[in-house]
Amino acid sequence: MKIPYQVVEPETLTRMIEELVTRAGTDYGELELTLEQKVAQVILRLKAGEAEIHYDEEQETCEIIVIGPT
């Protein structure tokens, strides 16, 4: 089930994004970005419709899925 990012509490959304961007294997290219910069990029992608939050009812978990250009 898709969850609009606007209905997620800001602190919860930030923690979800931080978990995403700090996963092993996350690559941002040649430039090293701060955690805050990475979070800001994901927020921009959510606002642009290039990423979505999905809730899995069976597993009771949420995940941010990138659906647009990388």
Secondary structure of residue 58 in the 3-state scheme = coil
For position 39, what pLDDT does the model report?
93
Ranges of the chain whose pLDDT falls below 50 = none
pLDDT score, position 8 = 95
CATH of 2-66, one of 3.40.50.1820, 1.10.287.110, 3.40.50.300, 1.10.10.610: 1.10.10.610
Q: What is the pLDDT of residue 70?
A: 59
State the pLDDT at residue 68.
73
Q: What residues pair up with 52 in beta bridges, in sequence order? A: 65
Domain ranges in the chain are 2-66
